[in-house]
Copies of this chain bind each other. A is one copy, B any other.
Amino acid sequence: MIPAGPTKRNGPATRIPEATHVETAVEYLRKEQKRHLDELIELCKIPSISTKPDHADDVRRAVEWTRDKCRSAGLTAEIHETGGHPLVYAEWCGAGDDAPTYLVYGHVDVQPEGDLKLWDAGPFEPTRTGDWLVCRGSADDKGQVLLYVRAAEAWLQTEGRLPINLKLLIEAEEEIGSPHLEPFIREHAALLKCDGILISDTGLARDGQPAITRGTRGMVYKEVFLSGPKHDLHSGQFGGAVQNPANALAAMIAALHDDDNRVTIPGFYDDVVDPTEEDRAQIRALGIDDEQFAADLGVPALWEGERGYTAQERRSIRPTLDVNGLTSGFQGQGANTIIPARASAKLSMRLVPNQNAAKISKAFDAHIRGLCPPGVRMKLTTHGAEADAYVTPSDHPALRAAVRGLREAFDQEPVQLREGGSLPILPMFKEALGADCVLLGFASPNCNAHGPNEKVNLPDLDRGAEAIARLFAHLAAS
């Protein structure tokens, strides 16, 4: 159920003098740290694994718990049914029409626990280890979602109001690809109308070092199936006469990069905007030591990659094409002398801002068809949605407000990251609501999200709650 009526409620329209009020809210947060931790532990105990149908009730419990917590914080909150797991919509829109309106997006569903033997304690038995809370969902994304509830509560309980109009959209299907999120957003575009979107589902640059994730890459994922003879052939009797699908596939994949390690798909780079000196400076500022980076990954050397760009640029602000899987012929132990009947490859491209995923997808298909030799047949599949890259505009007011909030709470200048992965919801939000996203994350780089012993650093979480409380004030002033 969604509250009916206008999304901006009446209320005092005067600006709040931030300097005084925010300190009261921050003081409240500090006092309530212990209780807020207990609440996080409560939520983490619920095994809200969205991929497992037998955990559907747990997912619902986590959603209900979140609704109740929003209400006790002083927000209005309702559960909304979708075709799958329900979601929570909460808001406090009493800051008036002159105040900006921000939408928070997060999720309370979690990944499966994986191999239980790899966990030191039960994955849903939150365990305190020094400054850390170990538990599935502690970092991704329960701990981070609750920061907004804590910050809202701090303002509402101390000042009786928020400096901005705040909307929260907390779903429970993120770990299964958010199948019902986009339809919900499109259907409720008026309700969700906002000046910007705040998301905390990313991480710090390193422990204690705040970061804003400025952009993500887009993605197109393809699978190429080649078939040759109707069944595997004796490589002695037919080798030389018959096009070997595995050899053909290797040649086709090899032809997707040129000698400068640039992707050969015609038009692939046409719309790519060259990184600005600022983009490159931000990456240099991260100060990643390539040698240490290679050693940590266990590779003998980093890839020489696309000529003209550093490894750290190539993994974040340049488009790439990678094979994700290869399958053909005999894969057992030892030798089997066959010409395989079939060979297939999974391939994905990471795209950068201004590249159009749909256009790249078509260009890939045409290019790979042209590379397919006459002796084999080809079938092409696209997996998942074609997602564009996304970058937060550098002049977005929430970006400046987030920088200030993070700086004050962490006593450190936040760095701005460009993330190489893909978050299809970012361009989707932009397209459906016309609003930009600001990503400020508080998970540790070694939080082990999706893995065993997922954990969150509690002092970082506490600083995160403070950063968000301060961010609200800066947004009001922006």
Which A residues are closer than 8 A to B by beta carbons?
A: 216-217, 219, 221, 223, 228-231, 233-244, 246-247, 249-251, 253-255, 257, 293, 297-306, 311-316, 318, 320-331, 334-340, 343, 345-346, 348, 350, 373-377, 383-384, 419-422
Contact = CB atoms under 8 A, between A and B. Distances in A.
Given A254-B254, A301-B374, A335-B384, A322 B244 contact: yes
A51 B244 CA distance: 29
B336 A325 contact: yes
A249 B250 contact: yes
B253 A299 contact: no
Nearest to A317: B240
B297 A335 contact: no
A299 B421 contact: no
A290 B343 CA distance: 24
Nearest to A316: B240
16 contacts: A221-B335, A233-B297, A235-B322, A239-B350, A240-B350, A242-B299, A246-B324, A250-B326, A251-B257, A254-B254, A299-B376, A300-B374, A301-B374, A323-B329, A325-B328, A334-B384
A241 B375 contact: no
A375 B229 contact: no
* Residue of A221, A236, A249 with most partner-chain B CB within 10 A: A236
Contact of A420 (B237, B253, B255, B331): B237
Contact of A303 (B243, B313, B419): B243
A420 B303 contact: no
A318 B138 CA distance: 63
A384 B334 CA distance: 8
Contacts of A331: 325-327
Nearest to A234: B421
A354 to B, nearest CB: 17
A373 to B, nearest CB: 8
A265 to B, nearest CB: 14
Nearest to A383: B335
Contacts of A314: 240-241
A323 B236 contact: no
A329 B328 contact: no
Contacts of A419: 236-237
A346 B375 contact: no
B301 A237 contact: no
B246 A312 contact: no
A418 to B, nearest CB: 11
A348 B254 CA distance: 20
A239 B327 contact: no
B298 A230 contact: yes
Given A239-B420, A297-B238, A337-B348, A327 B326 contact: yes
Contacts of A249: 250, 326
Contacts of A243: 299, 301-303
B329 A325 contact: yes
Contact of A346 (B228, B257, B335): B335
A343 B315 CA distance: 21
Nearest to A343: B326
Given A247-B321, A299-B376, A326-B329, 4 more contacts: A235-B320, A239-B348, A240-B314, A241-B302
B315 A324 contact: no
Contacts of A242: 297, 299, 302-303, 315
A262 B284 CA distance: 46
Contacts of A301: 243, 374-375
Q: Which 6 A-B pairs have the closest CB atoms?
A: A236-B421, A230-B298, A240-B314, A254-B254, A250-B253, A246-B323
A376 B323 CA distance: 15
Contacts of A374: 300-301, 304
B384 A322 contact: no
* Residue of A238, A254, A318, A383 with most partner-chain B CB within 10 A: A238
A419 B239 CA distance: 11
Contact of A326 (B321, B328, B334): B328
Contact of A250 (B241, B323, B338): B323
Nearest to A236: B421
A137 B313 CA distance: 63
A304 B49 CA distance: 53
Nearest to A310: B241
A302 B253 contact: no
